[in-house]
Amino acid sequence: MIFYSLIFVLSTGGVITIIRRNREEFESFNFADFMDRAVSEARGFWHENFHESFFLFLEKRIRNVRVFFLKAESKLLRASARIRGIKEKNGTNGNGTNGSENH
């Protein structure tokens, strides 16, 4: 804990030193303008470098998920057909009686 406290104190001291040496720049600093510039630069960087590749990546993953669910659906349909076949072979209609008895 002493180590982290020392790092915190040194970092704080460094920030204070930078502010004292550049007082005019610090006082004229406008955080809103800085964030507007940062957001516009990030948006431009995103559209230049990652926009298309991200959507291709997303499309591939969605296609793989779709294939997975189609395979799962197919397996469930085959399993239900097998169960239905077993039930018909045993002669029951779902309520434990065979189809020839009338109540």
Per-residue pLDDT in tens (0 to 9) along the chain, 103 residues: 899 999 999 999 999 998 888 888 888 888 888 899 999 999 999 999 888 899 999 999 999 999 999 999 999 999 998 888 877 777 766 565 655 555 5
Does residue 64 lie in a domain region? Answer: yes
User: How confident is the model at residue 94, as a pLDDT?
Assistant: 57
Helix, strand, coil in percent for the chain, rounding step 5:
85, 0, 15
**Which domain does 75 fall in, by range?**
53-88
Q: Please tell me what DSSP assigns to residue 92.
A: B
Q: How many domains does the chain have?
A: 1
Amino acid at 86: I
Q: CA–CA separation, 89 vs 41, rounded Å?
A: 70
User: How confident is the model at residue 96, as a pLDDT?
Assistant: 59
Does residue 62 lie in a domain region? Answer: yes
Does residue 20 lie in a domain region? Answer: no
Query: Do 98 and 91 touch, CB atoms closer than 8 A?
Result: yes
Does residue 83 lie in a domain region? Answer: yes
pTM of the model as a whole: 0.45
Does residue 66 lie in a domain region? Answer: yes
User: How confident is the model at residue 25, as a pLDDT?
Assistant: 84
Residue 52 CA neighbour count, 13 Å, CB half: 2
Does residue 16 lie in a domain region? Answer: no
User: How confident is the model at residue 90, as a pLDDT?
Assistant: 76
